[in-house]
């Protein structure tokens, strides 16, 4: 191919085509303050890469849906005003942690009351320490609202993708647990190490193997993450009557 | 003699009598002491007796004892006439119009000048009138018959006028009248009743009353219940009743009547569109029906939607979308249809369609087929272009101009960023769009000073507290730029610092009327922060809900949020009846219209129908009384100031009205009143005697009669004689 102004047009076309298939990276016009931000929670004992998982989840959501989350989300603490920067908090942990302060518990209550959504991800996928501490603190904050299994026909499983059951880095239990506040699920607790399935290393390779299902299971885990973000943003939108015939038809179409 | 009572004439009364008595007794004892030395017992006894009698006589004279008695006389008592002035007195039975019979009776009575009664006319109210002109001036027009109110009023007045008897002339067509409700005491005057037409009951079939909810909903069955009656020659066991709507016979049924000729039928109607729906319940007219006017009555239903239908279209999910949808879903009065664009063309879902819970955006269905069914359409950060919606934008404009409402909420896909400049949507927006542009940074929206009473932003009880509340709300972030504000628009919220090219503050919330519809433009996508980001030192979460609740209600013209409102005292009237209009007027900025000259007129109407001009008070309140139009039908009374229409209220005018609907004579109640008071009842005017025979006498106090028996010259002479004899004998017997 002939070079014009020193540029080989064949190579340039390849570059342009590659750019065109990349998702358009639009920045929310009004700035980050009102954009969707998946804030990672810091409860004081390290967050096991929660911020990196939140970044990966934000990236997947941006790539796959019309939602445009901030790609470099921030962190928040339950006992700080920064908690109220975004209604979505990702809480990841693997170790048991000491009881939260009363201020933190009060922050947790207010956050949920005002419309916030919390995704709790047990990175141990079956360990006892983090699980015991999470249940203890949730019981303190919401004594009348126990964690309960989320039914497989809940909107969470069809807020974007049609899913049948939760999976993460591990197969885990066949259900998510959640706390229902009013008419929405405000806290979702996963014991599947959901974030573990998202993580990539600096070179872009997956950090952890997904068992036992391999890459198809990883894809389903990512889809669950996307669905959880879409649920936080749309709540029971997919329960609207207008969606029912489509979803019923697709549910019955061979999946 | 038992009527006589004695009184003391001496100054000081009983006290003086006691003091004087004791003094004279002491004097007598002194005298007895002075004659103690008299040896002759006869002389001593004589002097003591004469002295005592003399002193006693002086005592009685000094007391000026008086005997008093009250006397009475029988006088002719006042006579009152209480004459029914309601329209039912114009009805004609076999013997002619009732009002003619009344005039003849009055004329006959006026020829006898022995009695000159006080006269009251009664209907919806009671008022006095002249006896001498009564026969000529009697034209019954009132729209109600309130016998109890009339008698209570006259009896209260009569206490001052010493009425000895009352003659009530009425057809007795007041189903609510009960004799015991008057609470007549023993001192009540004799009440006679002349029941006009009592000897000639009307042959009549009538729709006595209608009962229907004034508010009904589209597609929801509503009930209209009609009480019917068939009496006189037309009394029968069944009655055919029809329901009409818009000149169309909807239903016909047969009412079963009881022994008194009364029955009830019910019609179920299902309104098909919002607005006003006029239904008529009709009894086909019999040839010998003497009151055909009451065979046809109307019910007016204000038809709304059971719930407001709102369409929320969002360009993509976001927190502003989520919080608004949650609010609208929670609101039981809103039927929400929402569509969010979850995937754009460039998004890589990494899944076949059958693994996605996504549905096509049904633009044609929403914006062509069902657009008119929505009360409000909300575009939230939504750009129309990717969805080939150009052809629908004019439809949305037309929908608004026909009475719909529209809100555009900001974001990077709204206003100019959404490429709405130059479209039909810009025509209805309250702002001009110009070139795309956004403003970043946080700010607290400020409420416009002159519009702080506007219901959407009036978060406080008064403008000062409203402004204070807005200052305390969590900050907003970013806003869409616009080029100008349209002249008729109202800027409710504005940016505290940013300015438009013309120097005006950058609007954050602007509203306007577009045709018959309403439009709001909110240039921020951060109102959700009022709900979520409020901390303990600010307000927010309640204000967020209040703000959006008021926004939706104002857009959909909730009557409670309209600046001007008027109402009538009833929903239905007879032709020409009194109609009381009251209301409160505020200008477009929701400030009271003080001392405004308000024109009231009817629609439909003509110059002959009564209108009025009335001034509002300091608070913008008005109240006046009009005459209902002279033709039956559904009307609106319209309030205008300087030619601008501000408010209207609907009512019905019927040929019969309630007055002619139930014409049953309550003769037994009038009979009970007469029996309690010693009066008489006459059915018809034929056998009524002269008015003088119905008049009565009363006993009146004539004054006091008194006499002073001890003030006679004989008693004075006796006293002097006693005192003289005592003095002479004392001198003769050597006493001083």
Q: Mean pLDDT of all residues in chain B? A: 88
CB B539, CB B433: distance < 8 Å: no
Other Cβ atoms closer than 10 A to B587 = 17
Segment B315-327, tens digit of pLDDT: 999 999 999 999 9
pLDDT at residue B700 is higher than 50: yes
Report the DSSP pairing between strands B697-707 and B308-314: unpaired
Instruction: Provide the Cα torsion B25, B29, B30, B35; round to 10°.
Output: 140
The residue of chain A nearest to residue B366, with distances taken between CA atoms, is A242
Q: How far apart, in whole angstroms, are the C-alpha atoms of residue A127 and residue A95?
A: 8
Q: Mean pLDDT of all residues in chain A? A: 84
Structure token digits, residue A202: 């600096």
Q: Is B442 on the interface with A (CB under 8 A)?
A: yes
Residue B389 located in a structural domain? yes
Across the interface, whether the CB atoms of B319 and A250 are under 8 A apart is answered no
pLDDT of residue B563: 92
Q: The CATH number of the domain where A201 resides is what?
A: 3.40.50.12140
CA angle A53, B525, B475 (to 5 degrees): 90
Q: How far apart, in whole angstroms, are the C-alpha atoms of residue B287 and residue B620?
A: 52
CB A214, CB A225: distance < 8 Å: no
Across the interface, whether the CB atoms of A233 and B526 are under 8 A apart is answered no
From residue B99, give the alpha-carbon distance in Å to each of A197, B66, B210, B684. Answer: 97, 61, 28, 12
Cβ-nearest to B322 among A64, A161, A233: A233
Residues B529 and B630 in one domain: no
Contacts of A116 in chain B (CB under 8 A): 532
CB A158, CB A87: distance < 8 Å: no
Q: How far apart, in whole angstroms, are the C-alpha atoms of residue B622 and residue B639?
A: 10
In DSSP notation, B611-663 reads -EEEE--TTSEEEEEEEPPSS-EEEEEEEEETTEEEEEEEEEEESSTTTTT--
Enumerate residues 659 to 688 of chain B having a beta carbon within 8 A of any beta carbon in chain A: none
The parent domain of residue B355 ranges over 308-560
Residues B462 and B372 in one domain: yes
Across the interface, whether the CB atoms of B342 and A230 are under 8 A apart is answered yes
Considering B560, B581, B598, which residue would you say is the last residue of a domain?
A: B560
From residue A95, give the alpha-carbon distance in Å to each of A122, A133, B100. Answer: 9, 8, 104
The residue of chain A nearest to residue B479, with distances taken between CA atoms, is A30
Which is nearest to B393 in space by CA: B371, B362, B413? B371
Enumerate residues 277 to 316 of chain B having a beta carbon within 8 A of any beta carbon in chain A: 315-316
Phi, psi for residue A23 in degrees, rounded to 5 = -60, 140
Residue B159 located in a structural domain? yes
Residues B134 and B173 in one domain: yes
Across the interface, whether the CB atoms of B440 and A235 are under 8 A apart is answered no
Residues B402 and B546 in one domain: yes
Distance of CA B27 to the CA centre of its chain: 81
Across the interface, whether the CB atoms of A66 and B315 are under 8 A apart is answered yes
CB B343, CB B353: distance < 8 Å: no
Contacts of B477 in chain A (CB under 8 A): 30-31, 33-34
pLDDT of residue B540: 54
pLDDT of residue B75: 63
Q: pLDDT: is B360 or A107 the higher one?
A: A107
Contacts of A81 in chain B (CB under 8 A): 535
Residues B680 and B646 in one domain: no
Segment A74-96, tens digit of pLDDT: 999 999 988 998 999 999 999 99
Cβ-nearest to A30 among B344, B351, B440: B440
| Sign of torsion over alpha carbons B703, B708, B709, B714 | negative
pLDDT of residue A10: 39
Query: For A215, left (φ over 0), alpha (ψ -120 to 50), or beta?
Result: alpha
The residue of chain A nearest to residue B335, with distances taken between CA atoms, is A240
The parent domain of residue A141 ranges over 30-247
Q: Please, which pLDDT band fits residue B609 given cuts at 50, 70 and 90?
A: low
Kindly state the average pLDDT of the residues B227-233.
89
Residue A15 located in a structural domain? no
Cβ-nearest to A84 among B343, B442, B533: B533
Q: Is B341 on the interface with A (CB under 8 A)?
A: yes
Residue B454 located in a structural domain? yes
Report the DSSP pairing between strands B578-584 and B621-627: antiparallel
pLDDT of residue A38: 95
Q: The CATH number of the domain where B528 resides is what?
A: 3.40.50.880
Q: Is B444 on the interface with A (CB under 8 A)?
A: no
A6 CA: distance to closest CA in chain B (Å): 32
What are residue B597's DSSP bridge partners? B615
SS3 for A14? helix
Across the interface, whether the CB atoms of B477 and A232 are under 8 A apart is answered no
CB pairs under 8 A between A and B: 152
Distance of CA B676 to the CA centre of its chain: 34
In DSSP notation, B277-304 reads EEEEEE-PPPTT-S-GGGGEEEEEEEEE
Residue A214 located in a structural domain? yes
Segment B72-103, tens digit of pLDDT: 766 666 888 999 999 888 888 877 888 999 99
CB B231, CB B127: distance < 8 Å: no
Across the interface, whether the CB atoms of A160 and B356 are under 8 A apart is answered yes
Q: How far apart, in whole angstroms, are the C-alpha atoms of residue B58 and residue B65?
A: 12
From residue A191, give the alpha-carbon distance in Å to each of A134, A215, B32. Answer: 11, 19, 132
The H or E element that residue B425 is part of is helix B424-428
Residue B186 located in a structural domain? yes
CB B200, CB B133: distance < 8 Å: no
Residue B700 located in a structural domain? no
Phi, psi for residue B107 in degrees, rounded to 5 = -60, -45
Query: For B197, left (φ over 0), alpha (ψ -120 to 50), or beta?
Result: left
Which is nearest to B4 in space by CA: B74, B65, B73? B65
What are residue B485's DSSP bridge partners? B431
Contacts of A185 in chain B (CB under 8 A): none
Q: How far apart, in whole angstroms, are the C-alpha atoms of residue B276 and residue A24?
A: 52
Contacts of A69 in chain B (CB under 8 A): none
Structural domains of chain B, count:
5
Q: pLDDT: is B375 or A11 the higher one?
A: B375
What DSSP state is assigned to residue A83?
Answer: G
Residues B319 and B439 in one domain: yes
A165 CA: distance to closest CA in chain B (Å): 14
Q: Please, what's the largest Cα pairwise distance for chain A? A: 74
Q: Is B537 on the interface with A (CB under 8 A)?
A: no
Across the interface, whether the CB atoms of A66 and B322 are under 8 A apart is answered no
pLDDT of residue B697: 65
Segment B457-510, tens digit of pLDDT: 999 889 999 999 999 899 999 999 999 999 999 999 999 999 998 999 999 999
Q: Is B529 on the interface with A (CB under 8 A)?
A: yes
Contacts of A68 in chain B (CB under 8 A): 316
pLDDT of residue A246: 67
Cβ-nearest to B532 among A115, A183, A246: A115
Q: How far apart, in whole angstroms, are the C-alpha atoms of residue A50 and residue A205?
A: 18
Contacts of B416 in chain A (CB under 8 A): none
In DSSP notation, B381-405 reads S--SGGGT-GGGHHHHHHHHHTT-E
Structure token digits, residue B405: 């409402």
pLDDT of residue A31: 67
Residues B386 and B443 in one domain: yes
Asked if the bond preceding A212 is cis, omega within 30° of 0, the reply is yes
CA angle B10, B15, B19 (to 5 degrees): 95
From residue A178, give the alpha-carbon distance in Å to each of A104, A119, A126, A187, B517. Answer: 20, 9, 17, 5, 44
The residue of chain A nearest to residue B541, with distances taken between CA atoms, is A114
Residues B403 and B497 in one domain: yes
Phi, psi for residue B195 in degrees, rounded to 5 = -90, 100
pLDDT of residue A33: 73
Structure token digits, residue B628: 């209902």
The residue of chain B nearest to residue A84, with distances taken between CA atoms, is B533
Considering B526, B560, B594, which residue would you say is the last residue of a domain?
A: B560
Cβ-nearest to B355 among A161, A184, A233: A161
| Cβ-Cβ contacts under 8 Å for B124 (sequence gap 6 or more) | B86, B142, B143, B144, B146, B577, B578
Q: Render the burial of B679-713: b for 16+ CB within 10 Å, e for the rest.
A: bbbbbbbeebeebeebbbeeeeeeeeeeeeebeee
Report the DSSP pairing between strands B334-340 and B308-314: parallel
Question: Which runs of E-coded beta strand occur in chain A?
Answer: 3-4, 7-8, 38-41, 75-76, 88-93, 117-122, 148-149, 177-181, 184-190
Residues B57 and B125 in one domain: no
Contacts of A230 in chain B (CB under 8 A): 317, 342
- Across A20-24, A57-61, B234-238, B353-357, the highest mean pLDDT is recorded for A57-61
The residue of chain A nearest to residue B312, with distances taken between CA atoms, is A237
Cβ-nearest to A65 among B326, B342, B440: B342
Structure token digits, residue B485: 């504000």
Which is nearest to B320 in space by CA: A146, A14, A34, A244? A34
Structural domains of chain A, count:
1
Residues B396 and B519 in one domain: yes
Q: How far apart, in whole angstroms, are the C-alpha atoms of residue B426 and residue B420?
A: 6
Kindly state the average pLDDT of the residues B132-153.
87
Report the DSSP pairing between strands B517-522 and B405-409: parallel
B534 CA: distance to closest CA in chain A (Å): 9
Residue A192 located in a structural domain? yes
Structure token digits, residue A65: 């849906």
Which is nearest to B382 in space by CA: B529, B480, B484, B476? B480
Considering B271, B304, B337, which residue would you say is the last residue of a domain?
A: B304
Other Cβ atoms closer than 10 A to B249 = 11
pLDDT of residue B538: 52
Low-confidence ranges of chain A (pLDDT < 50): 1-29, 253-255
| C-alpha neighbours within 13 Å on the C-beta side of residue A100 | 25
Residue of A25, A26, A30 for testing the chain B interface, max B β-carbons within 10 Å: A30
CB A114, CB B532: distance < 8 Å: yes
């Amino acid at each position: 191919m002939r070079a014009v102004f020193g540029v080989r047009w064949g190579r340039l076309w390849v570059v342009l085509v590659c750019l065109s298939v990349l998702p358009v990276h639009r920045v929310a016009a009004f700035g980050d303050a009102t954009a969707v931000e998946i804030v990672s929670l810091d409860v004081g004992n390290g967050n096991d890469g929660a911020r990196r998982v939140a970044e990966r989840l934000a990236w997947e959501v941006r790539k796959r849906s019309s939602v445009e989350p901030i790609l470099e989300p921030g962190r928040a603490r339950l006992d700080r005003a920064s908690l109220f920067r975004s209604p979505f908090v990702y809480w990841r942990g693997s170790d048991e942690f000491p009881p939260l302060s009363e201020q933190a518990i009060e922050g947790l209550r207010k956050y949920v009351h005002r419309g916030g959504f919390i995704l709790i991800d047990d990175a141990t996928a079956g360990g006892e320490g983090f699980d015991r501490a999470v249940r203890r603190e949730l019981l303190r904050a919401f004594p009348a609202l126990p964690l309960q299994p989320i039914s497989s026909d809940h909107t969470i499983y069809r807020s974007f993708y049609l899913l049948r059951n939760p999976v993460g880095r591990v197969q885990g239990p066949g259900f998510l647990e959640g706390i229902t506040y009013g008419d929405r699920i405000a806290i979702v607790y996963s014991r599947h190490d959901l974030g573990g399935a998202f993580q990539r290393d600096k070179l872009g390779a997956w950090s952890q193997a997904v068992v036992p299902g391999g890459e198809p299971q990883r894809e389903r885990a990512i889809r669950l993450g996307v669905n959880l973000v879409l649920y936080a943003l749309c709540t029971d939108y997919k329960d609207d009557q207008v969606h029912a015939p489509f979803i019923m038809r697709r549910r019955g179409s061979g999946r | 003699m038992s009527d006589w009572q004695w009184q003391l004439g001496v100054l000081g009364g009983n006290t003086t009598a006691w003091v004087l008595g004791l003094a004279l007794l002491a004097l007598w004892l002194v005298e007895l002491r002075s004659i103690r030395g008299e040896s002759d017992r006869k002389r001593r006894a004589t002097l003591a007796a004469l002295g005592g009698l003399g002193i006693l006589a002086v005592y009685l004279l000094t007391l000026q004892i008086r005997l008093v008695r009250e006397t009475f006389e029988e006088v002719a008592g006042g006579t009152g006439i209480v004459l029914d002035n309601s329209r039912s007195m114009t009805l004609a039975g076999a013997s002619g119009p009732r009002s003619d019979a009344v005039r003849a009776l009055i004329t006959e009575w006026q020829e006898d000048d022995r009695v000159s009664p006080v006269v009251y006319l009664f209907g919806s109210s009671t008022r006095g009138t002249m006896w001498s002109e009564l026969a000529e001036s009697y034209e019954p027009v009132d729209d109600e018959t309130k016998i109890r109110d009339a008698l209570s009023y006259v009896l209260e007045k009569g206490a001052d006028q010493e009425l000895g008897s009352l003659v009530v002339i009425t057809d007795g067509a007041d189903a609510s009248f009960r004799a015991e409700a008057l609470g007549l005491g023993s001192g009540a005057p004799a009440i006679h009743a002349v029941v006009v037409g009592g000897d000639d009951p009307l042959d009549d079939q009538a729709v006595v009353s209608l009962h229907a909810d004034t508010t009904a909903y589209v597609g929801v069955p509503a009930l209209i219940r009609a009480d019917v009656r068939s009496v006189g020659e037309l009394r029968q066991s069944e009655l055919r009743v029809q329901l009409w709507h818009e000149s169309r016979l909807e239903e016909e049924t047969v009412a079963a009547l009881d022994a008194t000729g009364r029955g009830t039928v019910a019609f179920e109607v299902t309104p098909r569109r919002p607005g006003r729906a006029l239904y008529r319940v009709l009894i086909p007219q019999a040839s010998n029906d003497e009151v055909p006017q009451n065979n046809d009555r109307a019910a007016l239903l204000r038809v709304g939607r059971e719930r407001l239908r709102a369409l929320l279209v969002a360009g993509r999910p976001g927190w502003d979308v989520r919080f608004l949808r949650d609010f609208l879903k929670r609101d039981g009065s809103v039927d929400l249809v929402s569509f969010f664009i979850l995937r754009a063309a460039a998004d890589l879902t990494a899944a076949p369609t059958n693994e996605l819970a996504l549905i096509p955006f049904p633009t044609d269905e929403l914006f062509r087929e069902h657009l008119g069914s929505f009360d409000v359409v909300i575009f939230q950060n939504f750009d129309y272009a990717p969805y080939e919606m150009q052809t629908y934008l004019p439809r949305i404009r037309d929908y608004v101009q026909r009475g719909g409402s529209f809100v555009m909420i900001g974001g990077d896909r709204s206003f100019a960023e959404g490429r709405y400049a130059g479209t039909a949507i810009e025509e209805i927006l309250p702002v001009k769009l110009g070139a795309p542009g956004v403003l970043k940074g946080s700010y607290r929206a400020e409420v416009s000073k002159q519009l702080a009473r506007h219901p959407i932003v009036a978060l406080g009880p008064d403008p000062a507290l409203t402004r204070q509340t807005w200052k305390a709300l969590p900050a907003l972030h970013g806003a869409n730029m616009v080029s100008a504000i349209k002249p008729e628009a109202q800027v409710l919220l504005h940016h505290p610092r940013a300015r438009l090219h013309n120097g005006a503050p950058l609007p954050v919330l602007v509203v306007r009327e577009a045709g018959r519809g309403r439009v709001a433009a909110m240039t921020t996508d951060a109102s959700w922060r009022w709900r979520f980001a409020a901390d303990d030192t600010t307000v927010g979460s309640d204000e967020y809900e209040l703000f959006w609740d008021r926004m939706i209600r104002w857009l959909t013209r909730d009557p409670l949020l309209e600046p001007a409102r008027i109402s009538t005292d009833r929903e239905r009237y007879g032709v020409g009846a009194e109609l009381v209009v009251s209301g409160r007027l505020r200008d477009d900025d929701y400030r009271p219209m003080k001392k405004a000259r308000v024109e009231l007129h009817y629609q439909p109407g003509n110059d002959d129908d009564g209108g009025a001009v009335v001034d509002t008070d300091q608070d913008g309140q008005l109240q006046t009384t009009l005459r209902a139009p002279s033709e039956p039908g559904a009307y609106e009374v319209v309030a205008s100031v300087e030619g601008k229409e501000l408010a209207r209220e609907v009512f019905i005018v019927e040929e019969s009205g309630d007055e002619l609907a139930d014409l049953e004579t309550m003769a037994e109640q009038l009979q009970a009143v007469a029996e309690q008071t010693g009066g008489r009842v006459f059915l018809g005017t034929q056998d009524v005697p002269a008015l003088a025979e119905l008049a009565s006498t009363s006993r009146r106090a004539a004054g006091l009669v008194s006499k002073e028996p001890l003030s006679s010259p004989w008693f004075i002479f006796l006293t002097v004689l006693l005192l003289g004899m005592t003095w002479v004998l004392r001198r003769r017997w050597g006493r001083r």
